[in-house]
A and B are shown apart, each in its own frame.
Chain A
């Protein structure tokens, strides 16, 4: 039986059975709508998590183990020799050492801050980064210009979000953008602490100049050129030959496990604090998405059962017609194909309606979030990420559910004895 003729025959029955089949299609639409909605929500929330905790699948942060025996003996160090060894590990494409500013530093700002008079004193935590790591995120040279010159600094992009959504509204300060802040200078006193209430000998005074925002910058503090941090640490007699951590970039994500194994062989370990936090939140989102998708799957299963009942009723009502089809030359499989074609059409309609329903509800909720929810850090423009794969999956599941639901009725229709079917009153 050719597809065109099959559809022509099924179409007539669908029109006639529309009210009953609309209920079945509605059930499928509800299940598929929930499935696509929850999948899109899961992917959307995962995107939010990735924005808040950006984790590269190709990179690992190497640190000295806190409890290493060699460390206690003063042997285990992340010095230049070790960085070279790390760089030569199989699978590593680049190594970027980082160094903490190992002396206290403060800033004291008194004056106009974008139209507001502020008086501020803050402890500064700083980390030195290689210019290559910051790359194009710095809008001015990210290097040591020498003593007495403003020190270029980059700040983590997430800090400006926290400032705008939490700090600024509470203190009545203006909202800031990247472009407003780049080039802004604040004074810095190196070798001084307000908290400890002490000032180191040979304290240095200078200024920090913001040259960019970068996801590479430390979240807790500011990031300075590595050479500046080395010079300042040396100036105060602090450790300047060993690094606090080294960022290793693998050639590709598949090499990361091999790189991690090499790192462990060198007696070092991978700092997974931020990575594991992101992974945990991501896993929680995945788990909730999975649970909700299972719920949607359950609704779709119930819709399949409803489809089965509707098609059983339809086959019972059309017993005589099925006998006629057999009399004019239909085989058992032709009869089953007619019923399954009707089920496929029902499932397809339910799937399309479900996908549209999910999209519309997603748009409405996003709109509600934009207008009804207070602004909070990292509040996304949308909580949903609809993909073609979800649409395809939704429609495929709808088709499958309807075909499975109609399978037994189709088999029953195919097995009808034509003589008995024609004798049905």
Chain B
């Protein structure tokens, strides 16, 4: 059996105390998680529960933690800054709640952003146009983000995440700023990507996203629970 796409072993994340003398704030407590390749996992949790922090750890954006994080077979703690950047560049696609498009660039240029770094992306221009076509925005290639609706911005962000054709997609509240109809479109896109064999891990607090996932986890009090266990805890 191949190594899981994501493997977290006893991962703890603490934030420094806000006041002198206070205890450090523990956001994640000895979290264990395995996500197999090709899986579509949703992580639910209340606002401030540490979902985004978990995502940043898995994406190698945050390196201050205890425990072990392995992504696509790489021990993130063992990687240098440049190696981590290369991993993010080629293996991981990120999608954010607030889209995070660069306002100075057109939609096409935003999609091409990963091509600006590292060794670039092979055949980037064609891939970028294909990615825009896939998210239904081929006619908006030259539009600036300010001229796009929220749904369109998020679709551009998804196209950007797909440019390098990464095997792993990490999404942070991807439908959080979208209306119900637009959100459905984005969720449908995630289903397609999952069917194409991509591994998806999406943190969300929206049930409609979780329904699309093959596995749902709940982050509560710094610990990850399977969805049914979390519900039974609530019932008790």
Query: Which residues of chain B come closer than 8 Å to A334, judged between CB atoms?
Result: 85, 116-117
Query: Which residues of chain A come closer than 8 Å to B103, judged between CB atoms?
Result: 16
In the bound complex, what is the Cα–Cα distance between A331 and B114 (angstroms)? 12
- Is A359 interfacial (CB 8 A cutoff)? no
**Are A324 and B100 within 8 A (Cβ)?**
yes
In the bound complex, what is the Cα–Cα distance between A2 and B61 (angstroms)? 23
The stretch from A27-35, A117-125, A160-168, A417-425 touching chain B is A417-425
CB A85 to nearest CB in B, in angstroms, measures: 75
CB A212 to nearest CB in B, in angstroms, measures: 69
In the bound complex, what is the Cα–Cα distance between A277 and B17 (angstroms)? 75
The stretch from B89-97, B126-134, B224-232 touching chain A is B89-97
**Are B114 and A329 within 8 A (Cβ)?**
yes
In the bound complex, what is the Cα–Cα distance between A1 and B115 (angstroms)? 9
Query: Which residues of chain A come closer than 8 Å to B56, judged between CB atoms?
Result: 418-419, 422
For B60, give the chain A residue with the smallest CB separation.
A418
Q: How many of chain A's residues touch chain B, expressed as a range? A: 20 to 34
- Is A174 interfacial (CB 8 A cutoff)? no
CB B80 to nearest CB in A, in angstroms, measures: 10
CB A211 to nearest CB in B, in angstroms, measures: 74
Selected from A1, A16, A329, the residue in CB contact (under 8 A) with B104 is A16
Query: Which residues of chain A come closer than 8 Å to B59, judged between CB atoms?
Result: 327
In the bound complex, what is the Cα–Cα distance between A324 and B85 (angstroms)? 12
**Are A419 and B61 within 8 A (Cβ)?**
yes
For B101, give the chain A residue with the smallest CB separation.
A324
- Is B36 interfacial (CB 8 A cutoff)? no
- Is A332 interfacial (CB 8 A cutoff)? yes
Known: A321-B100, A422-B56, A422-B96. A2 touches B88 (CB 8 A): no
- Is B118 interfacial (CB 8 A cutoff)? yes
Query: Which residues of chain A come closer than 8 Å to B120, judged between CB atoms?
Result: 2, 5
Known: A1-B116, A418-B61. A328 touches B102 (CB 8 A): no
**Are B114 and A328 within 8 A (Cβ)?**
yes
**Are B52 and A331 within 8 A (Cβ)?**
no
- Is A22 interfacial (CB 8 A cutoff)? no
- Is B51 interfacial (CB 8 A cutoff)? no
User: Among the interface residues B53, B94, B164, which one has the most CB atoms of the partner chain A within 10 A?
Assistant: B94
CB A20 to nearest CB in B, in angstroms, measures: 14
- Is B113 interfacial (CB 8 A cutoff)? yes
Interface of A: prevailing SS: helix
**Are A423 and B52 within 8 A (Cβ)?**
yes
**Are A332 and B81 within 8 A (Cβ)?**
yes
CB A403 to nearest CB in B, in angstroms, measures: 21
**Are B104 and A15 within 8 A (Cβ)?**
yes
Kindly identify, within residues 129 to 182 of chain B, every residue whose CB is under 8 Å from any CB belonging to chain A: 160, 164
**Are A329 and B100 within 8 A (Cβ)?**
no
**Are A327 and B116 within 8 A (Cβ)?**
no
**Are B85 and A326 within 8 A (Cβ)?**
yes
**Are A12 and B88 within 8 A (Cβ)?**
no
Known: A8-B116, A9-B116. A324 touches B102 (CB 8 A): yes
For A338, give the chain B residue with the smallest CB separation.
B116
- Is A309 interfacial (CB 8 A cutoff)? no
- Is A369 interfacial (CB 8 A cutoff)? no
In the bound complex, what is the Cα–Cα distance between A327 and B113 (angstroms)? 10
- Is B109 interfacial (CB 8 A cutoff)? yes
16 A-B residue pairings within 8 Å (CB atoms): A1-B118, A9-B105, A16-B103, A321-B100, A321-B102, A327-B88, A329-B85, A329-B89, A330-B116, A330-B117, A417-B62, A418-B61, A422-B56, A422-B61, A422-B96, A423-B52
Given A1-B116, A320-B100, A325-B117, 12 more contacts at CB 8 Å? A1-B117, A5-B116, A8-B109, A9-B116, A12-B104, A323-B100, A327-B88, A329-B90, A331-B85, A334-B117, A418-B61, A418-B62
Interface residues of B (CB under 8 A from A): 52-53, 56, 59, 61-62, 81-82, 85-86, 88-90, 94, 96, 100, 102-105, 109, 113-118, 120, 160, 164
Top 8 A-B pairs, shortest CB-CB distance = A329-B89, A12-B104, A419-B62, A419-B56, A329-B117, A331-B85, A419-B61, A418-B61
